[in-house]
Amino acid sequence: MQPEKYSFKTEVNQLLDLMIHSLYSHKEVSIREIISNASDAIDKARYESLTNPEIIVPKEGWKIRIAADRDAGTLTISDNGTGMARQEAVEALGTIAHSGTKEFIAALKQKNMENSPDLIGQFGVGFYSSFMIADKVTLISRKAAAKDDAGIKWESTADGSFFVEDTVKTSPGTDVILHIKQDEKKYLDEWQIRDVVSRYSDYIEYPILMDIVREEDSALEKGKKVPIRKEEQINSGKAIWLRDKADIPETEYHEFYKHISRDFADPLKVIHYRAEGTSEFTCLLYIPSHAPLDIFYKEFRIGPSLYVRKVQIMDHCEELIPPYLRFIKGIVDSSDLPLNVSREILQNNRQVTVMKNNITKKVLDTLGDMKKNDSEAFRTFSREFGRVLKEGIHYDFAKKETIADLLLFSSTASGGVAARTLEEYVAGMKEDQSDIYYMTGSSLRDMADSPYLEAFRAKGYEVLFMTDDIDDLIFSGFEYKGRKFKSVLKGDITLEQTAEKSGTGAEFDQLRDFMKTVLKDDVKDVRISGRLKDSPCCIVGDEDDIDPRMEKMLKAMGQEVPVRKNVLEINPGHPIFASMKDLFEKDNAVSLLEEYSRLLLDQALLLAGERPKDPARFSRYLSHLMVEEAKHASHPDKA
């Protein structure tokens, strides 16, 4: 049969293009990626062999083989794992499964590859990275369950398409044949391969065997050397998590991390421990040093891989960690669970709950330690994963204060960096201050200049700045050490000093009622502000109103959001209100006062980061006022 031709999906082509032209200096990682796929394929076959009698454990054991052929210019990496059928190969090696890939490619393009080839290093690009060292890749595969010799051959030169045809393969598994590029021939060298394997793939649990040729004394002719072919294991091959911590160098921990996470960057923290007691299990967990691009996607796969006595049972076991710790990568190897454990069993298993609680505590404790002893790493953590961790305040009632203690905030007192803890906030609270104040917004700069903070500044109260979409959901209603969280944007805030200074504002009652009537379609109330000092007015929500940022987010997601009216707060201490009061009482200049009322509302909206009600009208009126003022300026005596 003729080979069938298929086209790569667009994003694969883009990725291949990047690979081929990559200046990335560690191209040997492509060998690691292929070995890593081989190891995954064996994990799968080994697991399937537990339940599927058609899958037979190979007589020679589970193995990965590497053979370099200098004459042919090929490097072949073979496994006796699960293998691929035609359709699987077309799908797995013609598209990209990772949901963050599009963003990755966009990021690469934007950053200009030539200047930052290391960006490749921040992303697990898997199989396609083989085109960094090969100009043609051939893959021959046969399903572990296939009874006859029916295999498939997949081949591509990365020129937009690939070919697949039927072929004969005598044993199950996959051979990946790299036709090494002219200027990358060093990857055919035995010592180079040994070096790559010992550096990047030593932890692989299965033996990695290499075909080597040695000149040895001939048995037939004395004094003559003859080439002898041998197979030699070139990795140590013991499950890293079962080894003694003291014997594991950091680099090995890191390589193992890269293997399981498909991340190219070193992790921020390694957590390796054995739990004993009601449930016995070993954990090798990692906190990555940067957030994966898809961590906020629904499809993001949560949880470490689950092993039972060294056999991998599943890739991502979400029953083992709460979603707010979903940045954790790693493996958990249980000594007590049955090998045939299923999703259903996991969901209602007491032992699994014990493991989950234990892991949660361990991770939170580790973060606590980091906060105390390694503030730089902790800040990195906080920048990358603070947004994920804080979800726990909402979802984990028992641990919410522990979690809150692990958050870093920007605030009016933090000097522009997110470094303030709640402990510090509470310690710095003024004597007459009972609540913890926060402000939500999309930009720290805008917030820092906001009129909403005037009275807080005057009182010396610290205000936390929050820029994440979920902040209001999480913090409204939260209490930390008995202190309530209050949004400076919502509710009727009265800070004594300002109330004192401006009196109760009762003398403005009539003007206020007038404004309320004018603006009745747009605001639900006009009231005297307890939070303004210098600015004339601002809009605020009620205590139980939905946060404006939350509202925007819901709208963006296409959700119905009930129409919400704000409250307009006015600052009677501002001279505009004295003037308006005069106009109102003496001249009854109704139409002018109506215009002013609208203009004040528009200003308040602008200060809250929103649009004026009627931008055209706003602009017209502002220009009009400018003209008037200009007239006064040039003929001051006529005023």
Tell me which residues touch ligand ADP (CB under 6 A): 33, 37-38, 41, 79, 81-84, 92-93, 97, 124, 126-128, 174, 262
Q: Which is nearer to ligand ADP, 83 or 292 (CB)?
A: 83
Min separation Cβ 130 and ligand ADP, Å: 9
Rounded CA gap, 84 and 87, in Å? 8
What DSSP letter does each residue of 288-344 carry, written as one string?
-SS--TTTTSTTPPPS-EEEETTEEEES--GGGS-GGGTT-EEEEEESSS-TT--HH
Amino acid at 226: V
Q: Which is nearer to ligand ADP, 58 or 428 (CB)?
A: 58
**CA-angle at 96, arms to 90 and 99, nearest 5°:** 145
Q: Give which of 447, 477, 475 is closest to 463, Cα–Cα.
A: 447
Min separation Cβ 564 and ligand ADP, Å: 45
On whether the CB atoms of residues 391 and 323 are closer than 8 A, the answer is yes
Min separation Cβ 452 and ligand ADP, Å: 47
Q: Which is nearer to ligand ADP, 105 or 511 (CB)?
A: 105
CB closest to ligand ADP, residue no: 126
Q: Give which of 281, 273, 271, 434 is closest to 368, Cα–Cα.
A: 271
Rounded CA gap, 383 and 467, in Å? 12
Q: Which is nearer to ligand ADP, 263 or 333 (CB)?
A: 263
Rounded CA gap, 489 and 505, in Å? 21
Which residue in this structure is represented by tokens 């504002």?
A: 505
Min separation Cβ 39 and ligand ADP, Å: 9
Min separation Cβ 262 and ligand ADP, Å: 5
A 10 A CB-CB count for 49 gives 19
Min separation Cβ 77 and ligand ADP, Å: 8
Min separation Cβ 486 and ligand ADP, Å: 46
Min separation Cβ 81 and ligand ADP, Å: 5
- Which distant-in-sequence residues (6+ apart) come within 8 Å of 413 by Cβ? 420, 428, 462
On whether the CB atoms of residues 276 and 221 are closer than 8 A, the answer is no
Min separation Cβ 157 and ligand ADP, Å: 17
Q: Which is nearer to ligand ADP, 155 or 595 (CB)?
A: 155
Q: Which is nearer to ligand ADP, 93 or 605 (CB)?
A: 93
Min separation Cβ 126 and ligand ADP, Å: 2
Which residue in this structure is represented by tokens 């009061």?
A: 581
- Which distant-in-sequence residues (6+ apart) come within 8 Å of 384 by Cβ? 288, 289, 290, 291, 327
Q: Which is nearer to ligand ADP, 263 or 391 (CB)?
A: 263
Tokens for 613, please give them: 């009600």
Q: Which is nearer to ligand ADP, 97 or 220 (CB)?
A: 97
Which residue in this structure is represented by tokens 């249980």?
A: 334
Radius of gyration for the chain, computed over Cα atoms and rounded to the nearest angstrom:
33
Strand 537-540 and strand 566-570: the pairing is: antiparallel
Min separation Cβ 140 and ligand ADP, Å: 10
Strand 134-142 and strand 150-156: the pairing is: antiparallel
Q: Which is nearer to ligand ADP, 37 or 450 (CB)?
A: 37
Q: Which is nearer to ligand ADP, 295 or 426 (CB)?
A: 295
Q: How much helix, strand and coil, in percent to the nearest 5, is found in the chain? A: 40, 20, 35
Q: Which is nearer to ligand ADP, 79 or 454 (CB)?
A: 79
168 forms beta bridges with: 150
